[in-house]
Every structure is written in structure tokens, then in C-alpha cells.
A and B are shown apart, each in its own frame.
Chain A
């Protein structure tokens, strides 16, 4: 994952969980308490907005959004 994508993703997480959070790339955003089921909706909306991608319903598996690394891998697979 390149630094620009990581920086943007951290910004989205901070917008949801608070400016003081600092998630590690491989850290579970759920286990760390940064996201819950409903905050995940905001996370997905934030990713779509920030990266100008439409995430289809078929791709909305929470496992894809468990960590910054996994989100980065998904975005890479989408050509971001």
C-alpha cells in the first residue's frame, strides 16, 4: 500500500473514530474499537468519496475492510 492511500485511509478512520487514533496497517479496525457495524457504513462511504470509486454490493464483505492493509489491497485490485 502506498503512503498516499494509507494517509487517506487513516484520515477516514480518524474522521469516524476520533482525531487521536493511529491505526497500524495490519491492525484490525474492529478489534481495536475504531469501527463497529454502523461505523463501517461510514468507512465505506468515506472510501468511495475519497477515492472516487463505487464499491458494489457484492464486494461489501466486512473482511475486506478489517484493516488498512486489506482495504489497500482491495483498492489496488480496483485499480486505485
Chain B
């Protein structure tokens, strides 16, 4: 058994609104909202590395959960935008948290990375105790380079989210997961060592709109639960229009899908945990309430994780 002990987040202070971005890109601010639902996104300063963003989200998570860093037995860090080929930022983040010597694993999966981290943490927590899952991305550094693609440049922002998974019973039990990968689509969404993110948006939307609902149905079916019984869906914040399609595909009111994409844009793997952190604070769950996490991204990697209030 594993359960979620808390979430945390960090968003850089600098706000890049659609009006400013539209001037840079030579497009209309209204088109950005229509195409994505995004009104503004955050941009990290140069000194705010992926590790710095991750450290701040992790500290927020530990503080929110009332857990000391010394209790963490494993760190899993997701980022598709780390500054080096190796080492990835996981070990540095652990060291910054005073956890030198604690195992730290990098997951360079991009968008679905935090979901995979969450699912892996649930499996590993009984062995390692409290697992800290962190996702941090500096997408602004790779989304608006040359050759410029407006459809990509409008989407992305910077930020970090974090989650604590403990090996015992807790407030939100992780019940099951369904994870998938298909490398046949690797070229359709990628970030090379130089150059900006390259995305076949049609392909991504087409696949995501099918595979996200399928993964959700799959993980729910394993527990004999219908989509309509789930009170909250927490998705990777990729595109508001996509979220609405997923809701429609499942036959679930869109209002059950927490959304903050309008304020932060798509922060790749960080978005799921940033959304969860904002949702978690004021929410009042009742025993037995179902919560479903889901994500889709480069790889393609996708899946869903099901949790229940105990």
C-alpha cells in the first residue's frame, strides 16, 4: 500500500502574458486563448535552473505535508529540460535538500514524467519509505527558439511541482495505475540537443485524445469503477481544448477536470503536480472519493493513476 502525503509547487515570478507574447510572435493574443486556453505563463530567470525550481517545489511540498527532508528515502525527479546530458538534476536536488547519499533517480520523459514517477513511487515506497517525486521544467528555454513555431511557442511555461508518497496508509491511497509507451511516435514530439521543441500538433492531439481516455477507463475498469463515479480528474495541463475532449470522450462533466492552464500554460511534466498542488490545498474530500491522474506526452508515454480518499 502507498499513499500521497502532500503536494507542493513553485512558479517563477515573471509572468509572460499573451499580449506580450503575441507581439513577440507576430500573432493575435485572442488566437492564443482560442487555440490553447492559455492566458499567461511563467518564465524562470537564468539562475533558476531546473534543480533550483525543483528544490523550491520540493521544500514547499515537505512544508505543506509537515514532513522533514530527513524522512525521505528516495527522490524521483522528472524533467525533459535539464541543462546537462548527465548527470540529471535528481542527485543535485537531493543534495540541495540535505539528502546526499539518498538514492535519486532521473526520469527524462517530459510531459508524462511526473505521472510515471507517481506510479513508480507507489511501487517503491514500501521498500524505500517516503518517496519524493519532483517534476521541474524550463520550457521557455526550448519552446521559443529558431526555427520558431508559433503553435509550440504559445504553449509552454516554466515551473515545478512535487508530491510525497509514503509507504503506509494515508489520506489519499494510490490504488492502481496503467502506464503505456509507444516509440513509434518518437519523432512526432521531440527535443533534440540543439534547437526548439518540435511537435506535430495534429498527431499529438489525435493520439492524446484517444489514449488518455483509454488509459483512464483501463485503470478504472481494474477496480470496477465507472468514469462517472470519479469526482476529480487531474490531467497534465497540455491544452484546455484537449481536456474538454477527454471529458467528452469519458462522458464526464468538464468541471470535474481541474484546470489551471490559463495561468501557467503547459509546464510539461511539472504541470500535473502543480495542478494537484493547487487542487489539494482547499479541497475537502470525503472517504471513498476517487481521484484520477492522467498524462500523455513525448515518447509517446501515457497513462493514468487512480487514488481514493481513505
Contact = CB atoms under 8 A, between A and B. Distances in A.
27 contacts: A37-B202, A37-B204, A37-B205, A37-B206, A38-B205, A38-B241, A38-B242, A40-B202, A40-B205, A40-B206, A41-B205, A41-B206, A41-B209, A41-B245, A44-B206, A57-B207, A57-B211, A58-B184, A60-B203, A60-B206, A60-B207, A60-B210, A61-B203, A62-B200, A62-B202, A62-B203, A62-B206
Interface string B250-265: 0000000000000000
Interface string A49-61: 0000000011011
B145 interface: no
A30 interface: yes
Contacts of B207: 57, 60
Contacts of A41: 205-206, 209, 245
A37 B206 CA distance: 7
Nearest to B201: A37
A58 B180 CA distance: 14
Interface in A12-51: 30, 37-38, 40-41, 44
Contact of A38 (B210, B211, B245): B245
B305 to A, nearest CB: 21
Interface of B: 184, 200-207, 209-211, 241-242, 245
A57 B184 CA distance: 11
A37 B184 CA distance: 20
A20 to B, nearest CB: 22
A27 B275 CA distance: 41
Given A37-B202, A40-B202, A57 B245 contact: no
Contacts of A60: 203, 206-207, 210
Given A38-B205, A38-B242, 18 more contacts: A30-B202, A37-B201, A37-B204, A37-B205, A37-B206, A38-B245, A40-B202, A40-B205, A40-B206, A41-B209, A44-B206, A57-B210, A57-B211, A60-B203, A60-B207, A60-B210, A62-B200, A62-B202
